[in-house]
Amino acid sequence: MDKKNIMLVDGMALLFRGFFATSFTGNYMFNSKGTPTNGIFGFMRYFLNAVETFGPTHVICCWDMGSKTFRNDKYEFYKANRSAPPEELIPQFDLIKETVESFGVPNIGVEGYEADDCMGTLAKLYGKNDHVLILTGDQDILQLVDDNIKVAIMKKGQGNYAVYHKENFEEEKGITPLQIVDMKGLMGDPSDNYPGVKGIGEKTALKLIKQYGNVDGILNHMNDLSNGIRKKIEENLDALHLSRELAQIFCEVPLNCDLDEARWKVDINNVSQKFEELEFKNLLTQVDKIV
């Protein structure tokens, strides 16, 4: 039996990327009703290119559902440094989901969890029997790379991807995908606003992980560390454990997604109707290539 090729799309990553790629000059797209559409337009360009490039048999789009998750219960300052989304982007959150639905693609999101957790849960589930590709711009997702799970990181410019699988990841990064979690535990993550071990950066974290395997290995060899490194870890032990917990993608989200409903089978009439509403008629030629 042929294996399915399932593409999991990081919805927020594509939407924000599409929005800022077209709005950094201050030029926003609006349809004739005055609704901003540049984020949706950018999303669709990335999305359609990825479908054409990777040829999935099934597609699912995952979303964050609000700003608070179980990680905020663990650490109240998690992502507290994030500013509110631009005013022009807010109306596009619901519209992009409607647009994705017009392709017959399920939108998945669960309150209290991030899109990363939903993608991790689905990737582990579907990766048991089929091939999974995660489309994102977020390097944190690389911890999910596994035997049947690839990650395509969108690079600058449309159609440019760095595709990681288990073999080339270890060759390029020098660590295993799961060791990313331990790296982040040591380094912290300013973009997600969790601390790590104060004074330990990427270079030192990588050296320690390569030498001792993971955080537990480091803690079991504290007497072998230099006085400076040992002192930093001892003084930030709680932050180290917390940061490692926050960095790890949770792969047991209570969600349901019938894979049959995710089969890539586009009704061009539904898409045409939605694109007409958004005034994206010139994008229909791109749709025609992949239906």
Average pLDDT over residues 237-249: 97
The pLDDT > 90 percentage for the chain reads: 82
Same domain as 202, residue 104: no
In what side-by-side order are the strands of the sheet with 131-136?
A: 107-108, 58-62, 5-10, 131-136, 149-154, 161-164
The tally of domains found in the chain comes to: 2
Place of tokens 């395997």: 213
Q: Which domain holds residue 230?
A: 179-247
pLDDT computed for residue 1 by the predictor: 64
CATH number of the domain encompassing residue 207 = 1.10.150.20
Q: How confident is the model at residue 236 (pLDDT cuts 50, 70, 90)?
A: very high
Same domain as 163, residue 82: yes
Read off the pLDDT of residues 81-125 as tens digits, 9 standing for 90 and up: 888 888 999 999 999 999 999 999 999 999 999 999 999 999 999
Cα separation, 232 vs 227, in Å, equals 9
Read off the pLDDT of residues 167-201 as tens digits, 9 standing for 90 and up: 899 999 999 999 999 999 999 999 999 999 999 99
pLDDT computed for residue 289 by the predictor: 78
CATH number of the domain encompassing residue 57 = 3.40.50.1010
User: 247 by DSSP, 3-state: which?
Assistant: helix
pLDDT computed for residue 114 by the predictor: 97
Q: Is 290 a domain residue?
A: no
Assess whether pLDDT exceeds 90 at residue 67.
no
Same domain as 108, residue 48: yes
Same domain as 39, residue 125: yes
Q: How confident is the model at residue 57 (pLDDT cuts 50, 70, 90)?
A: very high
Read off the pLDDT of residues 219-230 as tens digits, 9 standing for 90 and up: 999 999 999 999
Q: For residue 262, what are the contacts with CB-CB under 8 A and spacing of at least 6?
A: 6, 58, 59, 60, 105, 106
pLDDT computed for residue 41 by the predictor: 94
Q: Is 289 a domain residue?
A: no
pLDDT computed for residue 30 by the predictor: 86
pTM score of the predicted model: 0.95
Average pLDDT score, the chain: 93
Q: How confident is the model at residue 21 (pLDDT cuts 50, 70, 90)?
A: confident
Residue 11 CA to its chain's centroid (Å)? 8
Q: Is 61 a domain residue?
A: yes
Cα separation, 254 vs 47, in Å, equals 26
Same domain as 162, residue 43: yes
User: 246 by DSSP, 3-state: which?
Assistant: helix
